[in-house]
Amino acid sequence: MIGEPWSTGVSRGSDGVVSVGGVDVHTLAATHGTPAYVLDEADLRSRARSYRRAFETAFAEIGAGVDVYYAGKAFLSVAVARWVHEEGLRVDTATGGELAVALRAGVPGADIGLHGNNKSDSEIARALDAGVGRIIVDSLVEIERVADAASAEHPAPVMVRVTTGVHAGGHEYISTAHEDQKFGLSIHAANGDSPAMQGLLKVLSRPELTLLGIHSHIGSQILDPSGFEVAARAVLTLRAQLAERTGVLVEEVDLGGGYGIAYLPGEVALDPDRIAKDIASSVSASAQDVGTPLPRFSIEPGRAIVGPAGLTLYTVGTVKPVRIDDGSIRTYVSVDGGMSDNIRPALYGAQYHAEIVGRRSDESTVLARVVGKHCESGDIVVHEVRLPGDVRAGDLLAVAATGAYGRSMASNYNHVPRPPVVAVADGQTRVLVRRETEDDLLALDQG
């Protein structure tokens, strides 16, 4: 094991060759080609288990139940949906497409949630058809829409997504609970009832809906846990206000996802045991303060389950020293993928760590930038990393912690086919999602 940010199944032999789950990178590259997303099954399963156990244990201590939903937007395939379900997680989906994958995996509808700020009528109909356990409604209009699609005999189970004003997480685009953005209904009232209270009352007024609870997701890649606690207190307060007003004490509170991971060596991920204990003791105190019994809780981690379990394997194509502003040299290392398989550096300025993984090098390191093959200078894979001075064409280069929001946000920019997702476990590889081909892309082109 070479430690974070690599998955636990990553090790480097004395010859310098790196293996994942018992398969060395030369075998991976020869069998599946590069670029390829490589997913360490044992690592992913163990993170899913750790989150479930940590939260179940901590919440049992305060006398509350908890369900862990895997947020499929981070990466979803049929196998991954099965794995997390086998580990006792449910599956959170954000679109009809993600719902289709979870259903194809055999996850029972009752164990699936459907999110989205603009669900189509057909997505709502499919969710109702599949008997999903919860639809998380995001606006007053949508509450009407879901109610119109359901019936009083078979009411749709809904949670109302609220925003608490807590802004947490890495980049503005991935922080979702501050006020000037599209998600949820605000708990803050300009005058009269807050949009969140209006939403809850509207759900209660429609016999075609069952109000399961209140949902709050505050952002992503959160490394400071206090945001969860502030948001949870606000949600528990709203729940108590609703109970006072209507006599209905909703059964469940969902605290969303957003648990941060390590992307660089030396960065520290949130520890599931620690965060579960902190959140549990804080919600217990909040519930006591507002004078209501504890609800059942749920959480929705995505990145924390799949992010560290994945790496991307590339082949180096060109190496070019470039003199930069301060007069020093930056070595540009071009790989055979780029912003089409990982948009996060370009979109969020996300930082990653890379290493040459196919051999040992005793050369001293140089300041390098790993770039892709796309026609755009912002096509950066790793902004800054030290690589061996003899880095050269043909080297295998791996980027760590690309399991979340890599494949799921991949594109075909420049008509580049998307890489496969290859799972590794016990010395065996298995293709979860095959590599796209030019024929796949041309098949869409109607001439």
Cite the active site residues: 375
| Residue 419 tokens, joined | 């890489």
Instruction: Identify which of residues 77 and 315 has a Cβ nearer to ligand LLP in the complex.
Output: 77
Q: How far apart are CA 68 and CA 77, in angstroms?
A: 18
Residue 261 phi, psi dihedral angles, 5° rounding: -120, 170
Query: C-alpha distances in angstroms, 114 versus 69, 129, 211?
Result: 11, 12, 15
Instruction: Indicate the SS3 state at residue 283.
Output: helix
3-state secondary structure of 332: strand
Beta strands in 72-207 (DSSP E): 90-93, 112-114, 134-137, 156-163, 168-169, 185-186
Site for ligand LLP in 291-310 (CB under 6 A): 300-304
217 interacts with ligand LLP by CB under 6 A: yes
State how far the Cα of 36 lies from the Cα of 17, in Å rounded to an integer. 17
Q: Does 256 bind ligand LLP (CB under 6 A)?
A: yes
Output 126 or 134, the one with its CB closest to ligand LLP: 134
* Nearer to ligand LLP among residue 19 and residue 228 (C-beta): 228
Residues 394-423 that bind ligand LLP (CB under 6 A): 404-405, 409
Distance between first and last Cα of the chain: 50
Contact 367, 330 (CB under 8 A): yes
Compare residues 21 and 301 and give the one whose CB is closer to ligand LLP. 301
Applying the rule CB under 6 A, the residues between 146 and 175 that interact with ligand LLP are 174
Number of residues that bind ligand LLP (CB under 6 A): 23
Rounded least distance, CB 54 to ligand LLP, Å? 14
Structure tokens, 104: 């194809």
Token digits for 320?
């070019």
51 near ligand LLP, judged by CB under 6 A: no
**Does residue 220 touch ligand LLP according to CB under 6 A?**
yes
Q: How far is the CB of 221 from ligand LLP (least distance, A)?
A: 6
Residue 209 CB, nearest approach to ligand LLP (Å): 19
Q: Which of 23, 29, 48, 74 binds ligand LLP (CB under 6 A)?
A: 74
Binding residue for ligand LLP, selected from 258, 272, 358, 419, defined by CB under 6 A: 258
Length of the chain, please? Answer: 447
Nearer to ligand LLP, 62 or 304 (CB): 304
Angstrom distances, CA of residue 302 to CA of 67, 90, 437: 14, 12, 28
Task: Identify which range of 6-14, 68-76, 187-195, 423-431 contacts ligand LLP by CB under 6 A.
Answer: 68-76
316-to-34, 238, 302, 369 alpha-carbon distances in Å: 10, 54, 30, 12
Site for ligand LLP (CB under 6 A): which residue of 70, 228, 259, 314? Answer: 259
Q: Which is nearer to ligand LLP, 100 or 409 (CB)?
A: 409
Dihedral sign (CA 276, 279, 281, 283): negative
Residues in contact with ligand LLP by CB under 6 A are 71, 73-74, 92, 115, 174, 176, 217, 220-221, 256-259, 300-304, 344, 404-405, 409
